[in-house]
Amino acid sequence: MKTFKGGVHPGDRKSATEKKPVVPAKPPAVAIIPLSQHIGAPCEPLVAVGDEVKMGQKIGDSKGFVSAPVHSSVSGKVIKIDTCKSAPGGTVDAIFIENDFQDTWHEDVKPNPNWEKLSADELKKIVREAGIVGMGGATFPTHVKLSPPPENKIDYVLVNGAECEPYLTSDHRAMLERPDDLIVGLQLIMKMVGAEKGCIGIEDNKPDAVEAVTKAAAKDPRIEVRALPTKYPQGAEKQLIKVFTGREVPSGGLPAHVGCIVQNVGTCIAITDAVCKGLPLIERIVTITGSGINEPKNMLVRIGTPLEDVIEQCGGFKPNLKKLILGGPMMGFAQPGPENLPVTKGTSGILCLTDEEVTIEEIGPCIKCAKCVEVCPVSIMPLFIGSSVEQGLYDRAEKYDAMDCIECGCCSYICPAKRPLTQWIRMAKSEIAAKRRAAAK
């Protein structure tokens, strides 16, 4: 089987939730809708305190191109506009809506019976208006990805169904439960970018998903479904492109530069919902798992549901909870606590780890074993970037191509000296980005 260079094999630990069908979570009493649930310019609120809002109503938008609007996931009244915590750290402005539990849909939300006749531009507009962003966790606005520069002819649309992060099963369940919608979503994307070929990559530890999706895709000869070896980070954009097309995204380049577009399974299904049913992105599948939660589940959660509500519906934390992570264990964001933190468009999982799963080991000196170089999927040398950061030499880190890091976490995972290489590279990236911003001014 074709594969990419490097990568690691962490235990997949998906057994707690992979057989559990998605169950709808209770709508929250107060929905906290952050105005920035995407990479790019934050939204401006379109409603004021005291306004009545309906389900699916657009409540925040931005004029920036790299941005996506946000919608209310409940019907009710805006009680305040305040800050809440955001997954990567820090705070963001958010609209707090008191739920009236009527679930009255907004008049703009209506199915489109003629969706098959829509043009590419009309489809892109629908995707933007529905506030769809990359649902694998990176939350890049999807309509921007679907509008590549005209000089880049897109011939491949790749769908990431690898779900290579340990623990997470939200994409797995989505592929099992809604394979037809996934295929429709992929066909819509192919239409929007004018691609001739659609590929869906699924890791071979999910044979049932491979089977379901292959069956659904049988009608369309342009779509290829392939089982990929189970290896982390199989689902990373650049790695998926390498596996399917043999092309390599250049340093600092985008998938569009090699004629590819990569979308997540969840994003494809959200596009189907938006185009066929007129639904904006107001709910998503979230895997709540880890040995620190009493009842691990896959849940369909309204965007804006406070984490505490979701945890409660899963039987609460176990007393020996040690770490709470939004997303997967490799790339997710550790959280100080569940308070004032809502589920957003990018929340693929809520991981509750106990002291059995989390060990904090002392950082040792680098012995130059080069294991990190061996596993690095983008062929950089994390050990040298790490030591540069340790000495505060960010210029040297830049020379070692710190900016090409995809922050997959393989180096930190494999390092026998337990050196926090990914974290150091992340630091270097933020320093280098700050330096470049200052230089651009």
- Residues lying near another protein in the complex (CB under 8 A) are found at 85, 89-91, 334-337, 360, 363, 392, 420, 423-424, 426-427, 430-431
Residues sharing a CB contact under 8 Å with residue 366, sequence separation 6 or more, in sequence order: 383, 386, 387, 417, 419
Structure tokens at 407: 């922050």
Please say which residue, 275 or 402, places its beta carbon nearer to another protein: 402
Q: How far is the CB of 402 from another protein (least distance, A)?
A: 14
Q: Which is nearer to another protein, 255 or 332 (CB)?
A: 332
Separation CA 236–CA 410 (nearest Å): 12
- Measured distance CA(242)–CA(155) in Å, rounded: 14
Distance of closest approach, residue 434 Cβ to another protein, in angstroms = 11
Q: Closest approach of Cβ 423 to another protein, in Å?
A: 5
DSSP E strand stretches across 57-113: 58-61, 70-71, 76-85, 91-99
Task: Tell me the residue ranges of DSSP E strands in 258-337.
Answer: 260-264, 283-289, 297-302, 321-326, 333-335
Q: How far is the CB of 386 from another protein (least distance, A)?
A: 9
**Smaller CB separation from another protein, 17 or 335:** 335
In single-letter form, the type of residue at position 65 comes to F
Minimum distance from residue 39 beta carbon to another protein (Å): 16
- Smallest distance, Å, CB 7 to another protein? 23
Closest approach of Cβ 360 to another protein, in Å? 5
Spatial CA neighbour of 236 closest among 395, 404, 123 = 404
User: Taking Cα atoms as reference points, which of 271, 326, 292 lies closest to residue 134?
Assistant: 271
**Cα radius of gyration rounded to whole Å, the chain:** 21
Residue number, 199 or 326, with CB nearest to another protein:
326
CA distance 146 to 193: 6
